[in-house]
Every structure is written in structure tokens, then in C-alpha cells.
């Protein structure tokens, strides 16, 4: 496509990859307003909200969507849960690009929980039909207590398979724990 190429948010959580792309002429931005007219724009692996897609289309920006397939799967499952009348709960970190993208892809209210206390603060009745999805970049260890609290709180709950948590994130975190035990 030629240079420069604009990337909305860091394409992945990997400093080496990001620095390598910067050295090759990629320009990383946080907002589409920073992208000049007609400039090639890449959406990061974290995905983006529909409003970002619509803004890029309205501005005529050529877009390469690099959303991770696992993230897209979570978006689609969230939409399916909502279409079946379930209240949707997202386990994730407020302000994280993936969370913002997921909340902006699902048509309707998404209840964000970041910890067990957030689960306790939900105002839904215990028998409400609910479903939860997770930020893929959280590990199984990051989410297990929150999932247990959701399952203890709600009697009609559905979820995605745990395999939808990013296996790369889980492998890296498991490896770091193993190394810590050796030290």
C-alpha cells in the first residue's frame, strides 16, 4: 500500500512487533481523527466499535481489519446472546481497546464486570437469563473468581467455552508462573 500506514491502537500487545512496524513506517494513532484523508488504516487485533467502522467508511478510509478471530467470535456470541433476550455481562478491564470494541459491537447494553465486587453490585435478579463473555486477553486465572461469582449468583447463565480466552495470553502467563517458581 505504500507508506505511511496508520494503525488504530497498538496492533498487538507486543513491544517488539510495534517497534518493528514503527521502524518500517507504520503510524500508531488512538483516534481516527489523527488519520489523514484516504490514508490506509489498520484496525488492531483488539477490534473496534461499529461507530469506528462507520466513521472510517464515512471518511472513505481504506481499512484493513486485523481483528483477532477469537475477538470476532466473542463479538458474534455476544450478539447471539442478546438476540435470545439474555442480559450480557462482559468480564474485562474498563478502557481496554478490546472491551471498548466489544461493547461497541454488541447492539444493546453490556454490563462490564472487572472483579467479584462488580458481580455483587449487579442489580439483575438471580433468575434473570444472563450470559457472559470475556475479554480474550485475560487469562483463565484472571477470570476464574469472577466466573465462579457469576455462576453462584445466577441460576440461568450461559457462557462461551473457556477456549475463547486467548491461548497465547494463557501460555505466556503460565510460562511466567513456571519461571517464577524456578527463581
Residues with a catalytic annotation lie at 98
Is residue 96 a contact partner of residue 114, using CB atoms and an 8 Å limit? no
Q: Of 116, 77, 74, whose CA–CA distance to 96 is shortest?
A: 74
The full DSSP string for 132-166 is EEE-TTS-HHHHHHHHHHHHHH-SEEEE--GGGS-
Please, what is the Cα angle at 65 between 111 and 41, to 5 degrees?
110
Q: Of 162, 77, 160, 88, whose CA–CA distance to 129 is shortest?
A: 88
Q: Give dist(CA 49, CA 104) in Å, integer.
A: 4
Amino acid at each position: 500500500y505504500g507508506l505511511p500506514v496508520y494503525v488504530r491502537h497498538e496492533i498487538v500487545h507486543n513491544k517488539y512487533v510495534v517497534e518493528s512496524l514503527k521502524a518500517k513506517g507504520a503510524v500508531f494513532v488512538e483516534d481516527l481523527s489523527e488519520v489523514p484523508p484516504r490514508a490506509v488504516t489498520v484496525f488492531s487485533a483488539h477490534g473496534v466499535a461499529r461507530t469506528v467502522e462507520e466513521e472510517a467508511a464515512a471518511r472513505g478510509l481504506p481499512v484493513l481489519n486485523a481483528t483477532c478471530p477469537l475477538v470476532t467470535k466473542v463479538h458474534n456470541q455476544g450478539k447471539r446472546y442478546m438476540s435470545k433476550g439474555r442480559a450480557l455481562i462482559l468480564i474485562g478491564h474498563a478502557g481496554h481497546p478490546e472491551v471498548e470494541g466489544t461493547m461497541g459491537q454488541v447492539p444493546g447494553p453490556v454490563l462490564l464486570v472487572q472483579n467479584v465486587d462488580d458481580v455483587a453490585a449487579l442489580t439483575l435478579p438471580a433468575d434473570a437469563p444472563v450470559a457472559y463473555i470475556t475479554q480474550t486477553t485475560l487469562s483463565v486465572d484472571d477470570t476464574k473468581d469472577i466466573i465462579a461469582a457469576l455462576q453462584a449468583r445466577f441460576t440461568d447463565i450461559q457462557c462461551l467455552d473457556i477456549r475463547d480466552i486467548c491461548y497465547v495470553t494463557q501460555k505466556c502467563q503460565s510460562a511466567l508462573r513456571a519461571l517464577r517458581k524456578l527463581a
